[in-house]
Structure 1
């Protein structure tokens, strides 16, 4: 379908200032032209026109952190343990559609059962179901009784961890997810302490990189962060800086932050999840002294310092976890603006260009540029003045196909 999209403002995802009264031309799933409406080409009679005189055109959002078969509510763990594989697949199909209609045109799943994750990816690629461009890790690599062991691959030795990496690559994993610390989702896994030694983590990273597959490391505790940075992972998930000693709260290491920035390691702070959980249940154990989300204000301050030191942030909701409902991916952007104090333009860059670069697909998507995939969304309002307008995306175009128009789903 040939489409002409016109808007009062265009934010291209590069971090540059918005363009006013702009247009985007789409043909054969690609952006074939982009620019000022004053320079709009002639002879466009065959193009379908979508005009937003007060609206904002943006790149499609990129969700870098999801668990497609999890519920996103308080029952997430229970349902993960009890539901059949068929139910998990059906839930994943629903999650893909909800995410796409919310404006997510690219998603990375960072930990789901192999038979679910790879089946969903194949179904989207083959046009059997509707969904965003999807990259998957499959089962995460963890230790026995470690974080997410119930849908992960348990590995405790060099032989086991190398086998786990190679098995995921053999299945077609787009990245390797490794649990360098415990996590909140898994009882008794201890998010404060490292699950793997530095040597085992290094072995996993070296072998993944030999096979040209990036590594994302789940790390709440500072022990795990330090090991992950030393091992040379490509992406830190959470990066919570929690001390191994509960009485000490955070253990923020500025020298390690400098190393993260120097190495160009992308950080997904999952910033929205703690904020949303605090609103829902402020008395929960995780917000008490010694809890993982204790003193969120101090954590926002650390994230601001990381930003100022040049760390590159990406956008991950941790969709599927409690308060991470699919279709609410905009929360990562809004909380980043509110709590970190970044500009709307910079927040959009994190959820588009930075995230695409982290996933290795920047040449294909992530910014609005001629020749790239026609993945874009349109808001009916001025995003810079009203970031909350991201909660109600008016129109979604996924690889050149209009899947939502005037708030009406077309899939």
Structure 2
């Protein structure tokens, strides 16, 4: 008798997602340890596990340089892991089921619903099909545009591979690059085609598939759902605000924007603002940024991308919901309302829980890294936030982490990729089990 893990009676969708991601990471780590995967023919299992986790969790933190350390085989494995991680385990599995002609069961639909952060199960399989087609179409266009720069620079074969790899990495918000020597996109700081193409890819990937499709279908803001309106407005405000603040702070910094012309400063400030919210590419040296800029970027990394996207963080709508609740409290209103729509209290409770647990996790990881690695607070805090938000930016301390420090970051990347989704599902299940006992209420003093 053939066993189907998705039909196990006591296995929740959240657990299936955790096990699925862990299994893909472990398989990817094994493939990267093969002699054919590296130029030296060897890599420690811990470094392979770190790389696989970073790829599947679409983070981009690396302990060995992707462009010079791994062979084309190893780089292809990383690219496939990024694609699976960006799409999601269940999206990739659903494609396999469809190709094999397998019927999607109720249990599998529940897991897809959890993985894609959907409210209902209606049209899930159709949504997965559209997501796949949209992903490959956007990545193909991105690769075509990048090839106009990479082919003249690196030749036909290498240029094509670089174009496809960076298109997949950008749309998945992974931040992996093949430029070499940890330079990311700094050699192309004055190339608007490469920077704007990659920025467009990870911005689209960070909005969420449902938002992109809904905006394409309806196109007018007033016709959009509250979720899509909040995602588009909050993302736009954060992008513009980040660009302005980074532009002003780094304007005269000789290690970053100071060496560029005015248009170059604007372009790279925009790119840095956009990439900070989970993309992980950098067009100026992250280690050269001023401390106030790094501190501001912590907030952008913590907020991250949007639900149902390839990005991490607590998500834009979580931040937006909490902001609406705060404004309503200040105004003395009992109902958190935005765009003439009231946000349910249970949604705000989930948002608050996600924010509190996320802050606690980042604080704990920072403390542990300070104990195991030492060093200054801000670079360590930045590393912890980058791992949690699946961003991939680093001031340069990733490769210097001790084995214990690398394990801590591995766990943080994994938790950052799956934590909010698992938390949302757990809260939903608990809310369905209402206790028959009601207790008397009593006020406590706040503030």
- TM-score by length of structure 1 reads 0.31
More helix by share: 2
The structure showing larger relative contact order (alpha-carbon pairs under 8 Å, at least 6 residues apart) is 1
- TM-score by length of structure 2 reads 0.29
